[in-house]
Amino acid sequence: MIRILVFPQKETPQNSYLGNITSVISDEYTVVGVNEAIKRKWGSLFFYDVVHLNWLENIRGKSRIKVWMNFIFRFATLIYFRLRGKPIIWTIHNKEVHGQELGKSFSRIMMRSLLKWSTRIHILCDATFDEIPALEKYRNKVVCIPHGDYIQNYPKSDLNIREKYGIAESKKIVLFCGKIDPYKNIDVLVRAFEQSNIGQSDFVLLVCGSCRDLSYRNKIEQATQGNENIILDFNFIPVDQMEAYLTQSLLLVAPYDKRCTLNSGTLWMAFSYGKTMICPEIGCIRDVLKSTDAVYSYDYDSAQSHEDSLISVFKQVKEDFADGKLRIKEQNAFDYIEKRSWKNYKKSWISLYHF
């Protein structure tokens, strides 16, 4: 059986993407993660047939020396895989590494090297060609397979999030979930929600996620002080409770920085539970818009225009909820991701690793 080595690992509790791929292809291939190999199966680092790289270009560190060491390790890893002469698959997840204070130049070096040295480049949306012009030169080795669903990823939960946060039954919940970093623009989100006055129409914004940047956390807390319709919970949602948050929310919101963001796992998570989402026109959103009316999308060119655009979208959500149009988007969202499920694209995923 063909052996596939996956970087960084074949599955994590927090991110089901690689775990879902592993499940889809496990009938045809043996899959081992690099982290797993380092801990228990060193031989897998030497005996494999294909290597699949994800986020190798993410060069981070709290100091310049740590960034340098991270780069050396990752670049040496790439050179090792190249010298082995085995096929290299690289998945492009974002335009640039996001939330990165140091190491940007190193990440660009990694991305250029990955473009050149990968045997096959996997993209998750067609808009990747528009967002990364350098990719055009390598079009002949690009394969587009869309992100799959999260329909089976989260167990049913008995948690009542209204009871947990004291949210009345009459309130409609707008949910943000995920790690909170400045590039997620949560400060812009809370200002826009407040300025839209949608809270006076029984809408509540629930923000859930860890925020390690204490100054940014304080900025968000100060911006929401005294607003009972904005609830902050600076903790990750446990996997065994995620289903409750998704099913009990009206819709999700993710005001990403469009300069670096290309894809969103949160979008597919929302769609998998029949929820629409508010999101800028990043790459994967543009792919959706070509097929169906399932999202609330917008564009912006500054922090102020971002805020203004969100205000307009919140007002539109209020109107669409009142006249039933939001329900149409919900159905379109579920239909869209169901057609692109892991099961329906199983042959494509299996062929990705065939050389």
Condensed to tens digits (0 to 9), the pLDDT of residues 299-330 reads 999 999 999 999 999 999 999 999 999 999 99
Nearest to 20 by CA among 65, 54, 43: 54
162-166, 189-193, 225-229, 243-247: which range is least confident on average? 225-229
What's phi and psi for 7, nearest 5 deg? -110, 130
Side chain identity, residue 258: K
Q: How far is CA 22 from the centre of its chain?
A: 18
Q: How far is CA 349 from the centre of its chain?
A: 19
Judge if 2-148+340-352 and 161-339 fold alike in CATH terms: yes
Q: What is the DSSP letter of 49?
A: S
pLDDT digits (tens, 9 = 90+) for 137-162: 999 999 999 999 999 899 999 999 99
Please check whether the domain covering 2-148+340-352 is classified as CATH 3.40.50.2000. Answer: yes
Side chain identity, residue 296: Y
- Cβ neighbours around 143 below 10 Å, total: 13
Contact (Cβ atoms closer than 8 angstroms) between residue 198 and residue 314: yes
Architecture per CATH, 161-339: 3-Layer(aba) Sandwich (3.40)
Rounded Cα distance, 301 and 96, in Å: 17
Residue 101 has pLDDT above 90, yes or no: no
Quote the tokens at residue 84: 């082995």
In the chain, % of residues over pLDDT 70: 98
Q: pLDDT-derived band of residue 41, with 50, 70 and 90 as boundaries?
A: low
Residue 280 has pLDDT above 80, yes or no: yes
Q: pLDDT-derived band of residue 38, with 50, 70 and 90 as boundaries?
A: confident
Q: Is 259 exposed, middle or buried (0-12, 13-18, 19+ CB in 10 A)?
A: exposed
Contact (Cβ atoms closer than 8 angstroms) between residue 230 and residue 199: yes
Rounded Cα distance, 34 and 88, in Å: 14
Q: Where are the domains of the chain?
A: 2-148+340-352, 161-339
Calculate the average pLDDT of the chain.
95
Q: What is the pLDDT of residue 54?
A: 96
Quote the tokens at residue 349: 């995923």
Q: Where are the beta strands (DSSP E) in the chain?
A: 2-7, 29-33, 50-54, 88-92, 120-123, 142-144, 172-177, 203-208, 230-233, 251-253, 277-280, 296-298
